[in-house]
Chains A and B, each alone.
Chain A
């Protein structure tokens, strides 16, 4: 079995020895450097620009401003193109902007012989602005009289949606509101808020572009090469095939590179200097200010619970701060209310309302979990708070209401094909010693107090039925009987190449060591796939690999059948073709040589297949955390932490564990310390660097434990389901619930940073 083996990553040695090449390493010709001029206002207009001094600086090749850029609005999210106009992404970006919507908006660009000259030229550009008041919070943006940030959205609401699940016919209620107001049920309401955070992938966004044969090639650090091709074509107003995108190894993405960031501008700049190669590399500060982040969302939630602790109805009203540009539009807020609904079952009703609102903040977009880390914080704080209010055991209350096997979402039809949710909770409970610690940490006094907390999550796999799910795979025989695997799906550090290789090996019947994956995507030659996001690739691309692998295997066996007429029950084992009786007929290496060079029938075997996946399924899991709180100085120390996941069958358990560790780390920063802070007066990002933005270091982590409950999901290609994003989801709520257990203080806003904690402890009378 190749699936289920904990093999070493296929790229491990090249990456740790520095042989693996990334975008910036691949520049093979003289290259000009581009730098972007960012606005020093957050809201308003560029009235005029004087570029004469910049243009005159020796070494400057071209200065281009928002007055020169094509007047084309284009969308940027890494969504599959929709053939239905109504489902197409919001097109609100331009390459360079006269209308300034965030502090640091892109208003001009310099192309120069080197990066320092380009930077010096930026300082020589004089800009005249007309300013509008800065609006950083949705409530100000939505207030009557606030001028629109985009004229297409006069009230600054990008989208507002309301949905309610159908009520059971015999419920006796007309709508969710009636259930929530019903005096027979325990009524709960709460308000929770999450902060804006960033991915902090190691490699900042970087690309370089050049022209050849009248076409533009962009080499870029992206999760979505085929989508970059499409959007670059849209932004420049040229046929998509005129663009070729090459995606080598990348230093992380976590959703930030599930967006077309600066490739269109880079491509356009290249066309403006006669097709010479131009590099556009962002600094860390620009990455913070000008690329995506996770949406700050505020939640108002309600619930009606019966005396047995069953959820009768819930309501989730959220407001998502979209910043200056639509990016993924309303998709993330919509996903958040959906995720809030799905983990638990409401007996009668559920009502959701979501607002996505433009402000002048740096624009959030996709980030690991796509709205669910926020929704999970609200949901799992709520579940904890209800349990404590009603005197219920927090775990028993959750388990009682969990999504059951066979659940079909009443609004989008996503089905629970397998669930290890309750088993995950039980495993976590045992690991941490929940019952004993809950007892032990009651009624503590003194400055240091300990607590345990937990949170549960569910997460869907891929984007069906919201968007298209399609993936293609190509398998090509080598003369030595090994194969090459070519995909449009991308390795972004998550280990995709390794598990894809294992899946191909499994489908063909050969060892993974005989699968050589082509890691780089070149949109001219790579099969079509929309890329790495939504924890989709092992599921959707997995189906394509399985299909192509099965086809390839059949072609090999058919060819062997030609060589051995009369042989029956052919099978591939130990790199050989055997007959049903177990006799070795021919090695795969010999078979390959025959297939390539036979004078009677030459057919170098290839197989290509597309999987258009029209299904989806839920992953589950939980986090348990034991913490110690230093009350007078507001510090939380996480003593022990475990995530338990049901991601179906694990393709590579060692890689799965590593991925969980990374996600838990991301969750820990989200829980405790990370937050993008903006100056309320100017709208400027205050802490857009890795010193002031408090990403946890290795020394801020406890030992991280990752456990699994393996189910076999009938809809997954190998029993597998989502794993990439889920690990970061439940951590923040688990830590917050542990804090509540330790101190009795419910902190409902992230992050649980020292100053916030001290302020809450003052309010709660602990200090």
Chain B
């Protein structure tokens, strides 16, 4: 039994937005894998819910004629993981979301929810950040597009007004074409777990595949929100792959701010950042044909 004040099942995106305008304190529910847990725990107990579950205009994964990848926010983790479009364009994203929870959760949880709940450990977040995906949101006065880099506003807070809905996750062609990516979810378990640290690395290699022409590196749980380490990326750009892999971890330490909690100490998380950054880069480069 869940403690809900009410649930409104919206029949369209515009109806959902209208309902949110009328009641900005209402909670949007899609797959429910976060919201219902918070209701049960009491954090969202007794609230009014607006369901966008099953809205066709928010579903689907497609490639635009220009070659951008467009992901409907209601795409489940499983749909993303099994999508031929994702496999062809950004396989690392499919690999990342395939590590969320277990099979049941992946069949129910949505990538949009994963991005909108703003939590630092979200399995899709670091890869979308490394890809600098763009988030298209719609409100009563139309749409706007927000780069991932400007999305997070603090722990659990995102750049989304109470009456706005995420309607599309866009990965521009230039952000993925020629790049190879690798995501490492470091957790206590191999399934049914949240990340102690998530590391996602995108690499573009030089023509002879020996050097790192471009790289982006993003983390989950290395700070209160998912974060990019732009300084470390710049520091290893142009370096031979092995050298870049050795240097990027230590360089990243300048930009991360993990905290000690009962789950893990700051020192341990820093050790993970140091070690796993290079591993992610190395693996991404290997996928791109670098010989290491």
Which of A's residues lie within 8 Å of B, judged by CB? 114-116, 119-120, 632-634, 673, 677, 679, 686-687, 690-692, 694, 696-700, 753-755, 758-759, 767
Question: Is there an interface contact between B190 and A694, defined as CB atoms closer than 8 Å?
Answer: no
Question: Is there an interface contact between B102 and A691, defined as CB atoms closer than 8 Å?
Answer: no
Determine the chain A residues whose CB is within 8 A of the CB of B230 once the complex forms: none
Given the complex of chains A and B, what is the CA–CA distance between A634 and B274 in angstroms?
13
Q: Provide the B258-282 mask, 1 if CB < 8 A to any CB of A, else 0.
A: 0000111100100110011000000
For the complex with contacts A120-B3, A697-B102, A699-B190, 7 further pairs of A-B residues with Cβ separation under 8 Å are: A114-B1, A116-B2, A632-B271, A633-B271, A679-B262, A691-B192, A698-B191
Least CB separation from B269: chain A residue:
A755
Q: How far is the CB of B114 from chain A (nearest CB, A)?
A: 16
Q: How far is the CB of B46 from chain A (nearest CB, A)?
A: 9
Question: Is there an interface contact between B192 and A633, defined as CB atoms closer than 8 Å?
Answer: no
Question: Is there an interface contact between B191 and A758, defined as CB atoms closer than 8 Å?
Answer: no
Which of B's residues lie within 8 Å of A, judged by CB? 1-3, 102, 186, 188-194, 196, 262-265, 268, 271-272, 275-276
Determine the chain A residues whose CB is within 8 A of the CB of B265 once the complex forms: 755
What are 25 pairs between A and B in contact, CB < 8 Å? A114-B1, A116-B1, A116-B2, A632-B271, A633-B186, A633-B271, A633-B272, A633-B276, A673-B189, A677-B262, A686-B262, A690-B192, A691-B193, A691-B194, A694-B189, A697-B190, A697-B191, A699-B191, A700-B190, A754-B188, A755-B264, A755-B265, A758-B271, A759-B268, A767-B271
Determine the chain A residues whose CB is within 8 A of the CB of B196 once the complex forms: 754
Question: Is there an interface contact between B192 and A697, defined as CB atoms closer than 8 Å?
Answer: yes
Which residue from B186, B189, B262 sits with its C-beta under 8 Å from A696? B189
Determine the chain A residues whose CB is within 8 A of the CB of B1 once the complex forms: 114-116
Determine the chain A residues whose CB is within 8 A of the CB of B194 once the complex forms: 691
Given the complex of chains A and B, what is the CA–CA distance between A488 and B1 in angstroms?
36
Q: How far is the CB of B86 from chain A (nearest CB, A)?
A: 22
Q: How far is the CB of B267 from chain A (nearest CB, A)?
A: 8
Which residue, B1, B194, B271, B276, has most C-beta atoms of chain A within 10 A? B271
Q: How far is the CB of B35 from chain A (nearest CB, A)?
A: 16
Q: How far is the CB of A104 from chain B (nearest CB, A)?
A: 15
Given the complex of chains A and B, what is the CA–CA distance between A677 and B264 in angstroms?
12
Question: Is there an interface contact between B193 and A632, defined as CB atoms closer than 8 Å?
Answer: no
Determine the chain B residues whose CB is within 8 A of the CB of A120 once the complex forms: 3
Determine the chain B residues whose CB is within 8 A of the CB of A700 once the complex forms: 189-191
Given the complex of chains A and B, what is the CA–CA distance between A116 and B40 in angstroms?
10
Given the complex of chains A and B, what is the CA–CA distance between A288 and B186 in angstroms?
25
Determine the chain A residues whose CB is within 8 A of the CB of B271 once the complex forms: 632-633, 758, 767
Given the complex of chains A and B, what is the CA–CA distance between A699 and B193 in angstroms?
11
Question: Is there an interface contact between A753 and B188, defined as CB atoms closer than 8 Å?
Answer: yes
Determine the chain A residues whose CB is within 8 A of the CB of B3 once the complex forms: 116, 119-120
Given the complex of chains A and B, what is the CA–CA distance between A677 and B272 in angstroms?
22
Least CB separation from A757: chain B residue:
B268
Which residue from B102, B189, B191, B275 sits with its C-beta under 8 Å from A633? B275
Determine the chain A residues whose CB is within 8 A of the CB of B268 once the complex forms: 634, 754-755, 758-759
Determine the chain B residues whose CB is within 8 A of the CB of A755 once the complex forms: 264-265, 268
Q: How far is the CB of A598 from chain B (nearest CB, A)?
A: 58
The 4 closest A-B pairs by CB, nearest first: A699-B190, A632-B275, A694-B188, A699-B191
Least CB separation from B194: chain A residue:
A691
Question: Is there an interface contact between B190 and A673, defined as CB atoms closer than 8 Å?
Answer: no
Given the complex of chains A and B, what is the CA–CA distance between A282 and B2 in angstroms?
16
Q: How far is the CB of A287 from chain B (nearest CB, A)?
A: 15
Q: How far is the CB of A284 from chain B (nearest CB, A)?
A: 11
Least CB separation from A447: chain B residue:
B275
Given the complex of chains A and B, what is the CA–CA distance between A679 and B262 in angstroms?
8
